[in-house]
Every structure is written in structure tokens, then in C-alpha cells.
Structure 1
Amino acid sequence: MATQLDRSTRVMNSLVKGMSRMGIRAFGAKELVVIGRKSGQPHSTPVNPVEVEGQLYLVAPRGQTQWVRNARHNPRVTVRSGRREAACTVHEVHGSDAVPVMRHYLKRWAWEVGKFFPEGVTATSTDAELEAIVAAHPVFRLERA
């Protein structure tokens, strides 16, 4: 079951999403648009992409959220920043292949999302510790469509 977002998180998500729509990249955040698996309607959420070896990835710090389930159902997504849009396809990355992405993500974004990860898990955690959390915090590679 998806975790309930507290009021401050909802307010922050709305703020970051609004800034992204205006083309203001709040610390590099972008807006992800996915098609709802039940409604068929577009839904957007702020995301923090991370680049690893020239490839762009998304990590789901809050776990098995609606955007994760929707992206698994319909991997065609849109990434927005202001008026710029990129149609992409997401490909889930599993196990040890996700470890370098998780490490870079935590190095870049832990100040904002570290509270959603198990206590003690950081960018300096062992490969085994990072691999152990990938199932709970899915990793997706973005590929331009």
C-alpha cells in the first residue's frame, strides 16, 4: 500500500511541480507525467532525475507509489521542465544493475529524500545494502521515445 503523504510533502510537491511548469528547475527537479492505469488520464508528480554515465534515471524514494505502478503499466511517459517536454519510455532496472544509480541518487538527493530510505542507508552503503533496498525503491532508466 502506498504511504500517505503528509501535508508538508503535498505542499512541497505542489510548489516544485508549479516551479517546474514555469521552467524553474528547483535543484534539478522535473515534472513526470504518467497515464493512469485505471483512469487513462495524465497524472503528474515532481521527480528528481539523476544522470549516471550519460543516462538519465528516476528513483522512487517513496517506494511503490502511484507513478511507479502507472509507469509499469504504461511505460510511455513525459518529462517536463517549463515548456520543454520529452517523450520517454521507462525501463525498470533491477538488482545489482540499479546499485550505481541508487548510489548516485543518494549522493545527489539524500538531503531531500533520505528520510524515505531505511535508516543507515546512504550513498556510502555497501553494494549489498543498496541492492537490498532496490525492490522497495524502484529504479527506472529513461529512454527518449
Structure 2
Amino acid sequence: MNRIARLLVPFAAAAMLGGCGIKESFEKADAAIARFHGDLDAANYARIWTQADPELRKAGDKAAFEKLLGAVHTKLGAVKETKQVGWNTNASTSGTYLTATYQTTFEKGTGTERFTYRKGDEDAVTLVNYAIDSQDMMLN
């Protein structure tokens, strides 16, 4: 039994260290989301687009993305409060992706936002996808 424990300790240590890297990446994603909300409130949609991951820019049209952000800001108003309610990480051959789900209260309603970030060099994170579900946005 002692031999098995000696073999498992390095694996457990590696898993714990890997978890710290993910935790730090989510802290960076949280900071990026705060910047996103600041830019959203300031109607600085072009900055969000230019700082986004190339995957997001290849997948869609800048004008359509900015129109979506404009609709969020116009129909829901400024961000008042936001709380992370879920997260997920996925590693694949194209990179490590972090998805954070937030319940956000805006001036004129609420919404569930999903942000997906790609973890890059030196744990930098770049926005790959943004989605919002908001009945208030649909009705306003």
C-alpha cells in the first residue's frame, strides 16, 4: 500500500499545480470580463472587437458583433451588478478554453452572460465568444 501511495503523490501534486493554473486563468478572465463590461458601458465596442481572439473575428462580422453589443447596452443599460454562477474549462488540440457564466443585473433588466476565453501564452486570455440570454432584453 505504501508503494502505491508513493506513486500517486506525484500525480496528485501535478493535478493540484494544474488546478492553480486554471484558477489563475479564471482570475484573468474575471478581470477581462470587468474590462468588457466597462467597454460595454462606454459603448466602446470596437475595443472589445480588436482585443478579441482571432477565432471570434474570423467567425463573425465586426458590424454584427457591434450591433449585438449595442442592442445589449441600449435595451438593458449599464451593468449594475454581476455574479459568476458557473464555469467550465476544456482543453483540446486548438487550445484551452475557459467558459464563465454570469448572472448580471443591468439598469433595465437582467441577463445570463456566457463568456468563452482562450488561454494563450503566459496565461493571457482572449475572448472567443460572448452570448447573453435575457428575457428583459427581448421585451424592451
TM-score for both structures, normalised by structure 1: 0.27
Higher relative contact order (CA 8 A, sep 6+): 1
Instruction: Report which of the two structures shows the higher radius of gyration computed on alpha carbons.
Output: 2
TM-score for the superposition, normalised by structure 2: 0.28
Which of the two has greater helix per residue? 2
